[in-house]
Structure 1
Amino acid sequence: MHIRTAAATLAAALLLTACSSAGTDAKPKPSPTLSKRERFLAAVNEADLQSWNEKRPPENELIEYPEKWCTALSAGHSVAWMFDGEDDSLYPIGWNWGTKEDDAHELLLLAVKVYCPKLRGQVLEELRGSGSY
């Protein structure tokens, strides 16, 4: 009985040694660097916005918004100004798709996080102050 226990202990020790030595020799694979576009679109897909359950915007239309939003925010404009509904509005809507206000705010925050993270606090403060977030 002692021989079996000793053999099992030895086998376990050898397995642990093999695992630990393999880990020291192996170099971690570098993770690919994703572009802002890829990170933003991945975040949008993960967010699963309810507004787009029936009709999702094409990526080429959606991707036009983040840089415009960051430019407007950097120039001192508010979220309310960007989403005011005028002809030159930056509200995320297309010919065949639309976005509800709550989802538009979430989309804006996703864009700001990737494209202009220094402005995230400003956007959060405004949305919270207006009761929108």
Structure 2
Amino acid sequence: MNRAATTLLTAVLLLATGCGSSTDGKPVAKPSASVTPSATPVVEFMNAVGDAELESYEIGIPPFQELEVFPPQWCKALNEGHSVEWTLGAGDLYPVGQEWGTEKSDAYQLVVFGVRAYCPKHTAAVTDELKAAGVY
């Protein structure tokens, strides 16, 4: 991913997670040292997408507002007992937007990233399914 896209994505994700200064002029309280920071699922997911440097997104990662809608829907389908193949096919949850698309091999990787971030209890089943199909 290019530096400008990384910087923009980081700034947007920080805003989305509520990082920043107080609007009332008072300093924002810092968490105590005993608190371990945790990423929200969308930050974890988008960081994984950016780090993967998927071929589908060589010219730029889709806007996170468009891409982030898929993982919760994938998790819902998996919770209902559907497979990854059904989810991306008949389930009509293939990661594609108005101005961007995703190659099939990258779509499988996105599902893994999404499941790890949003519904990790399905990670083993998803990776097992994709390995059995020879696509992971």
**SS of 1:125's equivalent?**
helix
Separation (CA, whole Å) in 1 of partners of 2:60 and 2:45: 19
How much has 1:55 moved relative to structure 2? Answer: 4.1
> Counterpart in 2 of 1:121?
124
Q: Does 1:108 align with 2:124?
A: no
**SS of 2:50's equivalent?**
helix
Match of 1:131 among 115, 129, 134: 134
Separation (CA, whole Å) in 2 of partners of 1:33 and 1:55: 26
Q: Where does structure 1 lack aligned partners over 5 or more consecutive residues?
A: 1-26
Separation (CA, whole Å) in 2 of partners of 1:104 and 1:45: 14
How much has 1:131 moved relative to structure 2? Answer: 1.2
Name segments (4+ residues, structure 1) moved above 3 Å: 27-31
**SS of 2:59's equivalent?**
coil
Amino acid at match of 1:132: V
**SS of 2:125's equivalent?**
helix
> Counterpart in 2 of 1:75?
80
Separation (CA, whole Å) in 2 of partners of 1:34 and 1:56: 19
More helix, by proportion: 1
Amino acid at match of 1:102: S
Greater Cα radius of gyration, structure 1 or 2: 1
Amino acid at match of 1:57: P
Q: Where does structure 2 lack aligned partners over 5 or more consecutive residues?
A: 1-31
How much has 1:47 moved relative to structure 2? Answer: 1.1
Amino acid at match of 1:131: G
How much has 1:56 moved relative to structure 2? Answer: 2.5
How much has 1:33 moved relative to structure 2? Answer: 2.5
Residues 11-54 of structure 1, C-alpha deviation per residue, up to 9 Å, x if partnerless? Answer: xxxxxxxxxxxxxxxx9575432211111111111111110112
Q: Does 1:34 align with 2:39?
A: yes
Indicate how the Cα distance of structure 1 residues 107 and 81 shifts in structure 2: closer, same or farther if over 3 A, else same.
Answer: same
Is contact 1:66-1:108 (8 Å) kept?
Answer: yes
> Counterpart in 2 of 1:63?
68
Amino acid at match of 2:133: S
TM-score (ref. length: structure 1): 0.72
Q: What's the RMSD between the two structures over aligned residues?
A: 1.8
